Amino acid sequence: MYFSFLALPVPYTPFPIYRFAGFLMYLDVPGVLVINIELILITNAALSTVELLRYRLEAARPDQSKFDPIKILVYIFRMNLLVIVLFFAGSTPHATERQKQYKAEYSQV
Model pLDDT, residue 11: 58
Long-range contacts of 84-87 (CB under 8 A, 24+ apart): 84/39, 84/40, 84/43, 85/40
The predicted pLDDT at position 76 comes to 86
Answer yes or no: is 6 within a domain.
Answer: no
Residue 18 one-letter amino acid? Y
Q: Is residue 19 assigned to a domain?
A: yes
Query: Do the domain assignments include residue 1?
Result: no
| pLDDT, position 7 | 56
The three state secondary structure string of 31-99 is: HHHHHHHHHHHHHHHHHHHHHHHHHHHHHHCCCCCCCCHHHHHHHHHHHHHHHHHHHHHHHHHHHHHHH
Q: Specify the pLDDT at position 18.
A: 65
Q: How many domains does the chain have?
A: 1
Give the pLDDT of residue 39: 80
Q: Is the pTM of this model over 0.85?
A: no
Write out the chain's pLDDT in tens, 109 residues.
Answer: 445 555 555 556 666 666 666 777 778 888 888 888 878 777 777 777 777 777 777 777 767 666 777 778 788 888 888 898 888 888 888 888 888 888 888 888 7
> Domain of 56?
12-108
Q: Residue 84: inside a domain, yes or no?
A: yes
